[in-house]
Amino acid sequence: MPVFEEVLEAVHTPLQAEIKDVQAARALAEVMNARELAGRVEVSSFHDEAIAEIKRLVPGVRTALIASRYSTDIVERAVKAGAATVCLNIRRLALEIVEQARKADLNIIGWVVNTQDHLRLVRAFGLDGATTDHPDIKRTGRFTA
């Protein structure tokens, strides 16, 4: 984890770390606990088990379950894993899932929001945020939701 530690030294803002498996969760947890970083790093993963493991090992860590292909069980999976946020593929997002996530008190992030139509969906669904490959997307065209 030397690269992660170098980034921590250089950046004094909140960070997000994506982990790929349980082993990565354990390695990251070691660094986070040693440096008391639970409040500074949000950990995300496509893997429920990795989220559950980091949540178990780092008390108070903020977590996000990412999903590309998912069904309505994504909310149940996120809650079971201990995630506070679901990061969902905007092209598959449906109002039913948004409503279920809200009832479960989950934050919802849409990804990858690269078009004005996707941005309109983010606003229409009232999502908590979005990821994009084009940070200037909000300014690139007329926006009405």
- pLDDT on residue 143: 41
Question: 3-46, pLDDT tens digit by residue?
Answer: 766 766 666 677 899 999 999 999 999 999 998 999 999 999 99
Q: What is the pTM of this model?
A: 0.87
- pLDDT on residue 5: 67
- Average model confidence (pLDDT) for the chain? 90
What whole-number distance in Å separates Cα of residue 45 and Cα of residue 76? 16
What whole-number distance in Å separates Cα of residue 123 and Cα of residue 145? 6
> How distant, in Å, are the alpha carbons of 2, 72, 96, 123, 141 from that of 75?
34, 7, 11, 20, 33
Closest by CA position to 19, among listed 49, 39, 40: 49
Residue 99 has pLDDT above 60, yes or no: yes
- C-alpha 70, offset from chain centre: 15
Mind listing the domains of the chain with CATH numbers? 2-111 (3.20.20.190)
Which of residues 72 and 82 earns the better pLDDT score?
A: 82
